[in-house]
Structure 1
Amino acid sequence: MTQPAVPPNRVLSLARPGWLLFQALLRAPLPPPDALRRFLATPPWAGPDGPQPLRAGTDPDGFTCGVPVLDKAHAKACAKGATEENGHIRRPYRVVQDGRPLGFYGLGTGIVQAADVGRGGGPAIPVVWLNQLAVARSGQGQGLGARLLRHAIAEAATLGAGQGALAMLVLAIDHEVRGFYLAHGFRPVPKVIHDRVILLRFHDVAGCTGN
């Protein structure tokens, strides 16, 4: 399972109809999806065998997932580690087994805003982007993508709480990727908002975990 890059600077600007609908979707009094309840019933991957924060200067160790842009993203995350630049936070995580990297993901803070910011669109809404999620070829087909995602949700919720973020966003590259996230409780958004973005509201996460 792989995940593509997010919009430049992790800023999603919406025309007025999409902006109003996005705000309404975040506020809608909907219960958490059943798929999310089932998914989060299992605790996040923890302990020394689980995903660990990537530190700057980490060796990429030949990681390859079959998607060159994500292999490059992994190498860049290994080189830079966690960063905070111009108010944007990036936090990469990687899981290693027997000395070889099996998968990684990256989180980044961002905003959703009205395209016509100067015309009363209202304040921007902080969000957390799932920048990338990828499993090495050697680990594919073993459920590692789901385990990484569960860990990413927990870390995103913690990061988002410190930023006042309301949701986690994913930019799905194709129907397979989109189906993966929807199957684990993410919500689709109308095309007037974006034709590839899907989201996970943090209060849905709290409703499933009690946190």
Structure 2
Amino acid sequence: MVGTVRFPTGYRIEPLRKDHPRRAFCSGQPRVDDWFATAALQNQDKHLSATKVLTGADAAIAGFYTLATAQVDFSDLPAELTKRLPRRHLPVAVLAWFGVDERHQGEGLGARLLAQALRDCYDASQTFPVVAVILDCIDENAKTFYRRWDFRELPGHGNRLYLSWMQLEAMMSVG
């Protein structure tokens, strides 16, 4: 499902830089757009998260994703995920922010961006292991999008979804 991610001709993925036109980005989600414009670079500079942008031939930002790491308490994860794991805080990758500019929605770029974000999580997990990738959905449309990628709800957290390490590893081997 996620081998090498290919983007259409003219698009490229790169780390967020100061000269990227963040304020021109509009996903249609004010919270996402505001965070991207005002906090993404600061968080990256402080090594709290890493943001990658997808730019088109015109250098405009077509989409972005932000990854971070965290720990979650053993008791917050479902039993099928914690089987044979120690009863303590466990490491996870976090898809912290994600957006596609309105001008590019419906072109399949969101799926490719998510595939790249998951590829990055998988690659990083080869050095810094994680038990899952987690994310918080901003609304029901986002939840529907992620569920198509087999993300599941964390028990007791309706808008927090997870993808287990085993699911991620299986995705990476099909590819």
Q: TM-score range by the shorter chain?
A: 0.7 to 0.9
2:50 equivalent to 1:91: yes
With 161-170 and 53-62 compared, the bigger mean Cα shift is at 53-62
Query: What does residue 172 of structure 2 align with?
Result: 209
SS of 1:125's equivalent in the other structure is: strand
In 1, Cα distance between equivalents of 2:172 and 2:74? 31
User: Is the CA contact (8 Å cut-off) linking 2:21 and 2:60 kept in structure 1?
Assistant: no
SS of 2:12's equivalent in the other structure is: coil
Q: Looking at CA atoms only, which structure, 1 or 2, has the larger radius of gyration? A: 1
**Which of these residues, 2, 11, 16, is aligned with residue 49 of structure 1?**
11
Deviation at 1:84, TM superposition (A): 5.1
- Give the letter for the 2:52 counterpart: Y
Deviation at 1:57, TM superposition (A): 5.2
Structure 1 residues 196 and 78: CA distance shift in structure 2, 3 A: closer
Deviation at 1:186, TM superposition (A): 1.5
Deviation at 1:206, TM superposition (A): 1.5
- 5 Å matches for 1:165-204? 165-191=130-156, 194-204=157-167
User: Is the CA contact (8 Å cut-off) linking 1:186 and 1:198 kept in structure 2?
Assistant: yes
User: Is the CA contact (8 Å cut-off) linking 1:54 and 1:77 kept in structure 2?
Assistant: no
SS of 1:109's equivalent in the other structure is: strand
1:114-149: CA deviation from partner (whole Å, max 9, x where unpaired): 68xxxxx93210111111110111111111111110
In 1, Cα distance between equivalents of 2:50 and 2:67? 5
Identity over aligned residues, as a percent?
25
Structure 1 residues 195 and 78: CA distance shift in structure 2, 3 A: closer
With 195-204 and 98-107 compared, the bigger mean Cα shift is at 195-204
In 2, Cα distance between equivalents of 1:182 and 1:151? 17
- Give the letter for the 2:4 counterpart: P
- Give the letter for the 2:60 counterpart: R
Structure 1 residues 139 and 162: CA distance shift in structure 2, 3 A: same
1:141-164: CA deviation from partner (whole Å, max 9, x where unpaired): 111111110001001122233322
- Give the letter for the 2:149 counterpart: H
Structure 1 residues 71 and 62: CA distance shift in structure 2, 3 A: same
Deviation at 1:59, TM superposition (A): 3.6
Select the structure with the greater relative contact order (CA < 8 A; seq sep ≥ 6). 1
SS of 1:80's equivalent in the other structure is: helix
User: Is the CA contact (8 Å cut-off) linking 1:55 and 1:81 kept in structure 2?
Assistant: no
In 1, Cα distance between equivalents of 2:172 and 2:155? 27
Q: How many equivalent residue pairs?
A: 162
In 1, Cα distance between equivalents of 2:149 and 2:167? 12
User: Is the CA contact (8 Å cut-off) linking 1:45 and 1:51 kept in structure 2?
Assistant: no
**Which of these residues, 84, 106, 112, is aligned with residue 66 of structure 2?**
106
**Which of these residues, 64, 67, 76, is aligned with residue 26 of structure 2?**
64
In 2, Cα distance between equivalents of 1:196 and 1:78? 22
Deviation at 1:68, TM superposition (A): 1.8
Deviation at 1:196, TM superposition (A): 1.5
In 1, Cα distance between equivalents of 2:153 and 2:32? 24
Structure 2: runs of 5 or more not aligned: 76-85
